[in-house]
């Protein structure tokens, strides 16, 4: 009996994804769910592509949240 496939991280409209050939792109539209989902992704160099999730080998790009710099502590003047 075949093993159930590990479900991929769900890709949604607006997500940034990476394709092995076309690089990073943005998901413009999505129909369906899971591996059967059809996506329209726009890539800066390759343009707009229609992709089927189960064949596209897409990886969701994890954006690191920008860390806001901490405000410097106020200096305390010593009085004598």
Task: With beta carbons less than 8 A apart as the criterion, state whether 10 and 27 touch.
Answer: no
Name the token pair of 54: 């189960």
| pLDDT, tens digit (0-9, with 9 covering 90-100), for 19-63 | 999 999 999 999 999 999 999 999 999 999 999 999 999 999 976
What is the reported pTM?
Answer: 0.68
Asked whether the CA dihedral 42, 46, 50, 54 is positive or negative, the reply is negative
H helix intervals, the chain: 53-56
Using CA atoms, how far apart are residues 54 and 61, in angstroms rounded to an integer? 17
If you average pLDDT over residues 53-78, what whole number do you get? 73
């Amino acid at each position: 009996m075949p093993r159930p496939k590990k479900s991929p991280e769900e890709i949604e409209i607006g997500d940034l994804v990476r394709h092995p050939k076309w690089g990073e792109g943005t998901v413009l539209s999505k129909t369906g769910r899971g591996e059967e989902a059809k996506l329209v992704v726009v890539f800066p160099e390759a343009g707009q592509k229609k992709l089927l999730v189960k064949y596209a080998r897409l990886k969701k790009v994890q954006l690191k949240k920008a860390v806001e710099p901490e405000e410097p502590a106020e200096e305390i003047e010593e009085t004598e």
